[in-house]
């Protein structure tokens, strides 16, 4: 990954491993504070997990039908509804669900409160589904749980044993099982009554060529919130699992797909805590993948940071310190990351590609054309900036990545309302409004010598977390 070594490591370069060892051994909690110190703190709390209970098609997304063919994951099975044989078509949908319980029960109140699917399939026939009766089955009945009929943020398919193993492992933001009447969209006539439908609004499992990702033991789907996709399948089986072709269809089933769908009816604003995913750099798309893309995944979490800045000059004896830090971030699939200590890097003056301002800087121009930081980030004002070493932990306190470099900024807002990165590197076009302060937390995929070194446990090899509308105080 040459782009990282050339550009990104400038954030973390230190004079030698001796300095690194010294930084790691320092006890920041006993750092003396004098009258020249600047103390600053920042925090945010978006710890409520995000759940979407609605979705709808968008004008920008592709719509297509999956045709019979060999299963991508097991080509010996043919024909199936899980092939790479697709036919572009048209259609729209909107759905809102109610997820009240996670356990199967005939008394479950999980429901679909509104629904309207219309699409062209089956060689030009126009169909619609305007009512779904959620299946409420007894707990333990069937091959797997239905989560009460509707599930939110569930891992599905692949090796999960939830759903068919002929689909790859994925995160389903909304999943449901129900009974529907398939209707002629033009006349309203019922074409097929009482059919089983499975619907998922999920992370993307097909690539740019619409080929299915054949990953069953690892979730290799695209979690970009903007790239969510919807699966609608009327299965060729009856309620007892016996073969039963869907009447009025050429293939015995209907499998429709919508790309780039909208997620709606969230329990809170999902754009306040999110993760930057690998993708083309917004400032230089030729560089791909990078941690500076416009691909984002919603999440939840909180952070608090309390620092002291005593000097602007780099020095091995600098007393710049993180007094306390507590970062918690949870992905929608349940993975948790925790950082509860940062040991500031105190490097000798003049070493590395640029100054670290003693390890902690206050009110510094960063990135862009400043020569401080990375040119794949826009020019910005960083109210708090720091470079340090940390241990990344899971939600149980286990260290999953020890002694990793970390760069953290509490800054002017670098992303627009739709979370697109501002691309101005010559002038500071970021939002300096007091209610638009944001926090960047970056663990790069490098070791302390600048060599490629993926961060264990992250899945991407790096971690880039974002919090918006954060609190900031200075004294």
pLDDT digits (tens, 9 = 90+) for 223-245: 999 999 999 999 999 888 899 99
| pLDDT recorded at residue 36 | 62
Looking at the structure, do residues 201 and 327 belong to the same domain, yes or no?
Answer: no
Tell me: pLDDT of 34 over 50.
no
Domain boundary among 266, 294, 326: 266
Domain boundary among 205, 240, 266: 266
Report, as an integer, the average pLDDT of 445-471.
Answer: 93
Percentages helix, strand, coil for the chain, rounded to the nearest 5?
Answer: 10, 40, 50
Report, as an integer, the average pLDDT of 204-219.
Answer: 97
Tell me: pLDDT of 454 over 50.
yes
Tell me: pLDDT of 373 over 60.
yes
Report, as an integer, the average pLDDT of 419-433.
Answer: 98
Report, as an integer, the average pLDDT of 111-115.
Answer: 98
Looking at the structure, do residues 112 and 208 belong to the same domain, yes or no?
Answer: yes
Please provide the average confidence, as pLDDT, over all residues in the chain.
92
Tell me: pLDDT of 7 over 80.
no
| pLDDT recorded at residue 3 | 38
| pLDDT recorded at residue 28 | 35
- Token look-up 């890097």 returns 345
| pLDDT recorded at residue 240 | 82
Looking at the structure, do residues 237 and 285 belong to the same domain, yes or no?
Answer: no
| pLDDT recorded at residue 297 | 98
Percent of the chain with pLDDT over 90: 88
Q: Is 286 exposed, middle or buried (0-12, 13-18, 19+ CB in 10 A)?
A: exposed
Report, as an integer, the average pLDDT of 386-404.
Answer: 97
- The Cα 448–Cα 242 span in angstroms is 59
Looking at the structure, do residues 72 and 202 belong to the same domain, yes or no?
Answer: yes
Domain boundary among 266, 287, 304: 266
What single DSSP character describes residue 225? G
- The boundaries of the domain holding residue 337 are 2-50+269-474
Looking at the structure, do residues 294 and 190 belong to the same domain, yes or no?
Answer: no
Looking at the structure, do residues 359 and 457 belong to the same domain, yes or no?
Answer: yes
Looking at the structure, do residues 205 and 101 belong to the same domain, yes or no?
Answer: yes
Report, as an integer, the average pLDDT of 281-287.
Answer: 98
Q: State the total domains in the chain.
A: 2
| pLDDT recorded at residue 18 | 28
Of 431, 453, 430, residue with least CA distance to 443:
453
Tell me: pLDDT of 20 over 90.
no
CA dist list (Å): 445 to 48, 90, 309? 29, 42, 27
- The Cα 25–Cα 13 span in angstroms is 18
Looking at the structure, do residues 240 and 303 belong to the same domain, yes or no?
Answer: no
């Amino acid at each position: 990954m040459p782009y990282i070594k050339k550009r990104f490591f400038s954030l973390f370069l230190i004079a030698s491993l001796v300095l690194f060892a010294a930084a790691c051994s320092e006890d920041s909690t006993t750092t003396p504070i004098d009258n020249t110190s600047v103390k600053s703190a920042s925090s945010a709390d978006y710890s409520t997990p995000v759940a979407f209970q609605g979705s709808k098609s968008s004008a920008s997304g592709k719509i297509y039908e999956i045709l019979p063919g060999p299963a991508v994951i097991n080509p010996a099975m043919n024909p199936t509804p899980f092939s790479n044989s697709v036919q572009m078509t048209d259609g729209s949908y909107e759905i809102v669900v109610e997820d009240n319980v996670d356990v199967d029960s005939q008394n479950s109140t999980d429901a679909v409160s509104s629904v309207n699917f219309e699409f062209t399939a089956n060689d030009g026939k126009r169909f619609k589904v305007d009512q779904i009766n959620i299946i409420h089955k007894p707990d333990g009945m069937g091959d797997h749980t239905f989560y009460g009929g509707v599930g939110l943020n569930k891992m599905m398919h692949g090796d999960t044993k939830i759903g068919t193993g002929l689909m790859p492992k994925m995160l389903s933001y909304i999943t449901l099982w129900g009974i529907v009447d398939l209707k002629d969209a033009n006349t309203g006539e019922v074409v097929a009554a009482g059919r089983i439908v499975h619907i998922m609004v999920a992370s993307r499992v097909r690539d740019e060529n619409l080929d299915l990702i054949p990953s069953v033991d690892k979730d290799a789907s695209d979690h970009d919130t903007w790239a969510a996709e919807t699966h609608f399948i009327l299965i060729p089986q009856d309620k007892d699992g016996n073969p039963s072709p869907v009447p009025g269809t050429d293939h015995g089933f209907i499998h429709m797909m919508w790309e780039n769908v909208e997620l709606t009816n969230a329990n809170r604003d999902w754009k306040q805590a999110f993760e930057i995913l690998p993708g083309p750099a917004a400032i230089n798309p030729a560089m791909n993948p990078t941690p500076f893309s416009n691909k984002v995944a919603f999440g939840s979490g909180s952070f608090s940071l309390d620092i002291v800045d005593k000097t602007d000059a780099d020095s091995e004896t600098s007393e710049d310190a993180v007094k306390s830090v507590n970062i918690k971030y949870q992905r929608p699939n349940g993975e948790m990351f925790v950082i509860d200590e940062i040991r500031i890097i105190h490097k000798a003056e003049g070493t590395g590609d640029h100054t670290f301002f003693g390890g902690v800087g206050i009110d510094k121009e960063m990135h862009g054309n400043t020569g401080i930081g990375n040119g794949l980030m826009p020019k910005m004002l960083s109210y708090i900036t720091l470079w340090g070493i940390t241990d990344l932990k899971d939600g149980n306190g286990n260290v999953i990545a020890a002694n990793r470099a970390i760069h953290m900024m509490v800054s002017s807002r670098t992303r627009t309302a739709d979370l697109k990165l501002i691309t101005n590197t010559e002038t500071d076009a970021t939002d300096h409004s007091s209610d638009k302060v944001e926090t960047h937390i970056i663990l790069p995929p490098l070791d302390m010598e600048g060599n490629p070194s993926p961060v264990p446990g992250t899945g991407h090899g790096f971690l880039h977390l974002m919090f918006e509308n954060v609190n900031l105080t200075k004294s």
